[in-house]
Amino acid sequence: VGGFIFTNFARFVAYQNDMEYKWLTVDNYILPLSLNNRYDGRSFKDASQHIADITDASTIDAIFRVERPTIVIHGAAQTSVDKSLKEPALFHKTNVIGTKVLLDASAKYGIKRFIMISTDEVYGSLANENEPAWTEHSPLDPKNPYSVSKAEAEALVKASGLTYNITRASNNYGERQSTDKLIPNTIRCIVEGKKIPIYGQGNQIRDWMHVIDNCSAILTILKNGASNEAYNIGANSEMSNIEMVQRICKILGKGYELIEHVDDPRGSAHDFRYAMDCSKIKSLGWTPKFKLNDGLHQTCGWYEKNKWALK
């Protein structure tokens, strides 16, 4: 169940020829890039699909009744912090109520395992570059409506009585990401010759991970993860937003003059730094494969060849 991460996840498991599981995908296909993946025969030839909203309890119940899944990987969510500040009720509906609908159906139809894709943003914000990275035992301290809704959803999963895993991933990037996210938006602005907006000075630091590394981590947890445990997933590739934009300009060979510093609409809700200790998932044998520079070159190259994805 999901959008950007799971359109890539569906392709990932297909390309890996990992047919240990039969896949069923559920998406409301609001994002055009998700819709594009629906018609990719290579990804979905051995999987069934449904178009549905996870907050629609009757439809979700019908899908579970007919398909009888045994495992749920839940990645469907509203994810834009900026949008959450304007429409917090929408984020509560999708991320909290939607999760409850899936949990209720999972309990009713005897799901053996429920894996929820969460975010490192539930930990809140590190105040400086010297603070130690979060572990899975660090307290949750979300600072905006989006991260609050994800923390609430985590609490529902833990209280459900189902066997579960929770993944807390760092910032993902890669193919088919919505252009409201920093990296594809920067590429779009450069391609179209438009100003690249940078909130404030752009000093906010994030750990950047290629989405395919996240997909391989999810599959690792599915196969080897301990029951009722959370796992941090990151690439230990910290970079500030302004450095990221400048790196993309360097890769594309242009765009520096398009950088424009603007007022930060998030204000105090704009977390300064995210960093996680990922030794727990690495103990399962997982490591990220993409070096940041290699991943950015691959991503920029894909968007240059697929400019329709920037529309």
Q: Which residues are catalytic?
A: 120-121, 146
In the block, residue with structure tokens 């570059």: 129
Q: What are phi and psi of 180, to 5 degrees?
A: -85, -5
Tokens read off for 288: 């990220």
Take residue 16 and report the two structure tokens written for it. 């890996």
CA distance 277 to 281: 9
Sheet holding 238-240: strands in order across? 171-173, 205-210, 238-240
276 Cβ neighbours under 8 A, 6+ residues apart: 120, 123, 133, 134, 135, 168, 170, 207, 232, 233, 234
- Within 10 angstroms of residue 189's Cβ, the number of other Cβ atoms is 21
- Nearest 5°: phi and psi at 278? -110, 25
C-alpha closest to that of 294 among 219, 256, 237, 234: 237
CA 139 remoteness from chain centre? 21
The single-letter code of the amino acid at 162 is L
Q: 116 by DSSP, 3-state: which? A: strand
The amino acid at residue 144 is N
Contact call for residues 257 and 267 (beta carbons, < 8 A): no
Q: Report the phi/psi class of residue 267: left, alpha or beta, with left for phi > 0 and alpha for psi in -120 to 50.
A: left
Give me 280's structure tokens.
């727990």
